[in-house]
Structure 1
Amino acid sequence: MKFTLFLFTLFCSLAYSITAYANCTNQGIGLVITKPDDIYTNNGDATVSDTNTGLMWQVCPLGLSGADCATGTLQTLTWPAALAGAVADTSSGYTDWRLPNKNELISLVDYACTSPAINDSVFPATIPTPLLSLLNDGIFPAITPVPGGGGYWSSTPVIDNSGNALIWAVDFVNGFTIQASKDNNISGYVRLVRGFELLDPTLPAPPPL
C-alpha cells in the first residue's frame, strides 16, 4: 500500500513538472515556474484575466491577433505613440485600455523562463520570432539594453535627478527592468491592460469593471 502511494505521489509530481514545463519555452534547470496556466482565465475574447492581481490583459502584443497571435505584425512604437495607441484602443469592446505601469509588467514575468520570460502558452509571440530562434539556437546577438530586444513600455517614469526623460520598460527576453528615453525615437513593444492600477506587484488589484 505504501509503495503504491509512493508511485502515485511520484506520478503526480512528474505530471505537475511536465505541465509546468509546458508553460515555458526555456525553463532554467532547478527553477520553479511561478506563473502557471491555472492563475490565468482566458475570457474567450482575446483577453486573459490574472486571478492573482485582478488585472485583465490583451493576450497578444499590439499588432498581432488570432489564437496564437500569429496574424499581423508585431509593432514597435515610441513611448508617446504607445500612450496614444492605448487611449485609442477599443479591442474586445473595452474603451479603458491603458499602458501598464512597471509593477504590472513585472507581475507577468516568470524568472524561471527565458526567451521569453513569461508564460508563453498564455501570452504567445511576446518576443519577435527571429530573436527567439537565434536564442534557442545558442546564438546570442548583441541586445542593446533598451526596448527592442524584448522590451515592453510601461507608463512609469524613472525618478532621478539627472533631468533625463526616462521611462521604465521590462525586457521579456530575460525579465529585466530597463530604462529608456521617451524622447529620442526609441521603440518598444506594447501589451495593454485594464483594471485598477497595481502599485505593488505582490498585492492583488481590484477586478476590472
Structure 2
Amino acid sequence: MAWIVLKEMQDHNGPTSTGEKIMKKLYAVAAMAVMLCLAGFVMPGVTFAQQCLDNGDGTVTDYNSRLMWQKNISAGNWTRANHTADITIGGHSDWRLPSKGELFNLYNSVCKSMMVVKNEGYWSSDSYNDSAAWVVDFSNGSMRYEVVFNNHFIRFVRNAHSNTKSNTKVIRKF
C-alpha cells in the first residue's frame, strides 16, 4: 500500500519530493516495528519468561545460567562434597560440585530465594592447592580458600540441558 502511494507521489511530484522522503521514512519505521515484533516471538523464552523454575522435585532451574540447582543443602568437608557418584536428586544422577564462579553467580541470582540458603561458606569444585579449596561466602559474596578438612555447606548443580535421569529412557520423535 505504501509503495502505491509512493508511486503516485513520484508521478505527480518527481522522484525526490518531500512526500517521497516522508513515505520512505514511514516505510522504514514500519518495517523496523514489524521486525522488532517478530524478534520478540523468536527470542528465547528466557527474555520474557520467568528466570527461575521450582521443578517440584527438590531442584530449581536458573534459565539465565542454564543450570539446575539442588534446593536443599548439606554440609561436610571438601572430599565429601566432591563425592557425587551416588547422588540422585529429582531423578537426575549427573550432579557435581559447582565452580566458584557458578556459586558467585548463584549468590547474585534471584533464584537463590527459591532455595534453602545459609549465609555462610559453600564449597566450590575449585582447588587452591593440594590442601585447600575455594569457598564462596553467601553472607557477602566473597571468596576465600580454606583447608579441605573444614566443614562447609554443599549445594550440588548440573547442566539444565542435560537429559540424564536415572532409569529413564529418552525417546525422540522425528
- Give the shorter-chain TM-score range: 0.5 to 0.7
Residue 207 of structure 1 aligns with which residue? Answer: 161
Residue 138 of structure 2 aligns with which residue? Answer: 172
- Asked whether the 8 Å contact 1:155–1:168 carries over to 2, the reply is yes
Residue 53 of structure 2 aligns with which residue? Answer: 41
Give distance in 2, aligned partners of 1:156 and 1:78. 14
Q: Structure 1 regions of 5+ residues with no counterpart? A: 1-37, 63-75, 112-117, 128-148, 196-205
- Asked whether the 8 Å contact 2:53–2:62 carries over to 1, the reply is yes
Residue 26 of structure 2 aligns with which residue? Answer: none
Q: Residue type of the partner of 1:208?
A: S
> Following TM superposition, by how much is the alpha carbon of 1:59 offset from its aligned partner in structure 2, in angstroms?
1.0
Q: TM-score, normalised by structure 2?
A: 0.59
Instruction: Report how many residues are paired.
Output: 115
Residue 80 of structure 1 aligns with which residue? Answer: 79
Q: Between Structure 1 and Structure 2, whose CA radius of gyration is higher? A: 2
Alignment map for 1:108-187 (pairs within 5 Å): 108-110=106-108, 120-124=112-116, 126-127=117-118, 150-158=120-128, 165-182=131-148, 185-187=149-151
Residue 96 of structure 1 aligns with which residue? Answer: 94
Q: Structure 2 regions of 5+ residues with no counterpart? A: 1-49, 164-174
> Following TM superposition, by how much is the alpha carbon of 1:121 offset from its aligned partner in structure 2, in angstroms?
2.9
Tell me the SS of whatever aligns to 2:82: helix
Give distance in 2, aligned partners of 1:156 and 1:121. 24
Q: TM-score, normalised by structure 1?
A: 0.50
> Following TM superposition, by how much is the alpha carbon of 1:208 offset from its aligned partner in structure 2, in angstroms?
2.8
> Following TM superposition, by how much is the alpha carbon of 1:106 offset from its aligned partner in structure 2, in angstroms?
1.0
**Greater helix proportion:** 2
Q: Percent identity?
A: 34
Residue 107 of structure 1 aligns with which residue? Answer: 105
Give distance in 2, aligned partners of 1:98 and 1:41. 20
- Asked whether the 8 Å contact 1:164–1:181 carries over to 2, the reply is no
Give distance in 1, aligned partners of 2:76 and 2:85. 14
- The structure-2 alpha-carbon separation of the partners of 1:164 and 1:89, relative to structure 1 and needing over 3 Å to count, comes to closer
- The structure-2 alpha-carbon separation of the partners of 1:119 and 1:46, relative to structure 1 and needing over 3 Å to count, comes to same
Which of residues 48, 67, 79 in structure 2 aligns to 1:55? 67
Q: Residue type of the partner of 2:58?
A: A
Give distance in 1, aligned partners of 2:63 and 2:112. 17
> Following TM superposition, by how much is the alpha carbon of 1:102 offset from its aligned partner in structure 2, in angstroms?
1.0
**Greater strand proportion:** 2
Structure 1 residues 22-65: Cα deviation after superposition (integer angstroms, max 9, x where no partner): xxxxxxxxxxxxxxxx3211111111111111111111112xxx
Give distance in 2, aligned partners of 1:207 and 1:164. 32
> Following TM superposition, by how much is the alpha carbon of 1:171 offset from its aligned partner in structure 2, in angstroms?
0.6
